[in-house]
Structure 1
Amino acid sequence: MRVILPLVALMLSSTANAVVIDEDTFKRHGGDTGNVAASIRSASEKLRGYSYAKPWLTIGRINGCTATWLGSKNGWAYFLTAAHCVPYSATETPVQLTFNGWDGSIVASGLGIAYVPKERVKVPAYMGGASTDVAIVKLPLTNPLKDRAGIPVERPILNDREDEKDRAVMFVGYGVWGVGLNEGYGPESGARRLYGRSKITSIFESDYGIGASYKPVGPSANWARVAAGDSGSAWWQIKDTKPVIVATTNGGHSKLSTGARISKYANWIRSIYPEARFLSETRPQGCIVSLRNGAKYCLEVGQRSDYSLPAWIYAHDVFVQADSGVSV
């Protein structure tokens, strides 16, 4: 997705979106608002780097949109995206699609199924395009998703609490870059991928829609919005010290990002992929983490380790990572 700085405007759209950032953020990262085209590549490089932090390695691309890997089971991989990113005709539709991971590699590809909620097929009164814009895509797994060190990426956590409003939200996606109310830019080389932040400012359409305002000049906490190429991307909040998915990108306009609220679709997601991780089911844990490659050995509160620990623990320098309230 792309981050649009306060110079970039996001138009209402049912197509893929990207991230735009505000002018203040752009200038603080070395950008020149008088010459956005020449300076945006270097000014956005740090934000692109942030988009490759470990929590966001589940994020990749499907069908020109952004999507997030939820997990895999029995040779199938499951991905979260926007309904308008897939060619659906019913709540379940056969599709031929490919998911490219954070590094461009093919993670899943072939004949699968696109699932959309019944509310998307027949939109109820007081709901609309934003509040129903969520889909799960099931595809044949070709290569397990791994990080730079070859360690399997952790499955993301999905939100099932209705406490998103007035809290910070993070965007990571693919698409055009922009500043303020201007967009249409991208990197000189590499993936057009960006990280940005805002704040949840509205809940609408029978509480199934969610919005984050954008202030194109800044400085403010609302310094980024989605734009073309970011459709389907997950919105993230930190809850109980963990990054948690709270929405999928629908679109928006020059001063607002809109999405579908995941907490309202928790049971629907469980009905398709019961192994999906939800916040209410995630227990605090403590981990031993390798300083060399980030490998983790974790136990939940109350668990005891096996008689023997993984061999790598004895050969690596490690540190302890514990959730709030957990002693290790």
Structure 2
Amino acid sequence: MEQVEETPAPAKPDGRARGHPEAGPPRPRPARRPGLRPRGAPSVAVPVETLRVRLGAWTWHRRHRLLFLAVVCVVLATVGYRLRWWRRQELPRIAEIGKTQGLAALNAGRFDLAYQLLSEAERAVDALGDASESAAEIRKGAEEAAIFVNQVPDRLETILDLADKPDPASWSSRFDKLYKGRAILIQGSVTRVPDASGAGQYDLDYRVFPDGEGPRPRRVGRIDLRGFRLFESSPPKLGEKLLLGATLDALRFDKDNEEWLFGLEPDNGVRITHTKALEVLEWPSEDELQSEENP
């Protein structure tokens, strides 16, 4: 009877290497970084003394950087304080220069210089507040200088003649580019005022006629004073003669009244008091206007 050799059963592979016969021993898990806690683990309060120790160590290792930053902050604060102190000491002198040299330049028709000096003086008196006795005079001069230095490049008669052209889109673009935001001078008498209830609007006897159309012009322009806030703060009286500086905002045709309306920017209006500056612009004086009215 033959003896059958029993073949030993193959060894069962390790579960960790199942499907990966060449896999080596399992890798150890990386150590958890200090300070991190497992998800869901309860937070542990750190003693205050421990926090102090950690903060002290952090500060000590960065002491040179912190010292440098502290020095920089002190230097910047000192420089800023010195500049503010120096500027504060200079403000009265800047205001005085504006009052003397700026107003003198305005009366002499040196408008660029007057605008520069009076604008700086206006900022100075704004910073000084009520400490400057000449604040009102300087602000008034600065407002008038801003009008004179920003004069519209053409006469209103020329602008009106250009407006009545067949291409309105081209004219609108040209007006915005050349005339919108530029200053004009207006001289005339008040011919209409709002009634006691506030209804109605102001009007002047100032009219714009294109050149070369004779005594009965086909076109006429009028200053539109609706919303002009200068008259809200200082209402003129009926018949009062005015010399104004204002800024152009629009020019449109009123079909109902068949006239062109020169619209003004509401907030940019000033009564002109430095009339000597008008001589440079060859503006007629009050005596010349009266002689024209009463030949």
Q: TM-score range by the shorter chain?
A: under 0.3
Which structure dedicates a bigger proportion of its chain to helix?
Answer: 2
- The answer to which structure has the higher strand fraction is 1
TM-score by length of 2: 0.23
- The structure number with the bigger radius of gyration is 2
